Amino acid sequence: MDKKRCDLRLATALQFITVPAVKKHTATVIFVHVSAVLGDTGYGWHPVATMFQKDHSLEHVKFVLPHSPEAPVTANMGIVMPFVVNAEDEAGILKSRASLIQLIDAEIAAGTPPNRIVLGGFSQGASMSLFTSLSLDKQLAGVVCLSGWILIKTTFQKPHACPAFDPLPIFWGHGSADPLVKPKFAEESIDWLKSIGIRSLSGLSYTFYPGVGHSTNMQELEDLKVWIAKVIPERV
């Protein structure tokens, strides 16, 4: 598949909000906070972004928080609400990937190199971030998957088909009591990543958080904050 040509044809510009860096901007986190139940927009992650920036280790980080286009969501009885992708609809997934690549390319064009960009999300936003990061022709600083899973596994037949596979840093967090995206989906996704050749997943940090449902908690956010500071540290 010609990824670049496909992306140019499919991409739809996403609206987003920006949380500027507190200090000189040298790194960017693009976070897609989307839940089939909540129908979140970029504002759903805004309080967390501002909380992260209160830590001196992340004052150099800008947060880009996309709003999702309205689409019928299978998991929510077809009600029209903001959303990135409808279940495993391949056309919708490819269109969403193209839109995320546009955001990444815009950051690069503005002067932030790929290895200073983290892409991540929650729920379907997490799954889209994984899918996009693993099919890019460039290496990002890392990818965040909160309560997500792998989409369209047939796209990734062999590691050599996706240059960014290894050693891409991945933060994977999942609630042990998640009733919507069950922990077994995360476990199966992680096993699948191993099967395609991400050697022992040396770049993967994954944790199951006891008692947490389809949401996050302060421990997961604290772990994520530390991880972000590690993969995109402040440049002196």
Enumerate the active-site residues: 123, 178, 214
Rounded CA-CA distance 218/221 in Å is 5
**Cβ neighbours around 176 below 10 Å, total:** 14
Phi-psi group of 155: left, alpha or beta (phi > 0 → left; psi -120 to 50 → alpha; rest → beta): alpha
67: how many CB neighbours lie within 10 A of its CB? 18
Q: How far apart are CA 43 and CA 188, in angstroms?
A: 31
Question: Do β-strands 142-146 and 204-209 pair in parallel, antiparallel, or remain unpaired?
Answer: unpaired
CB under 8 Å to 202, separation ≥6 — which residues? 166, 167
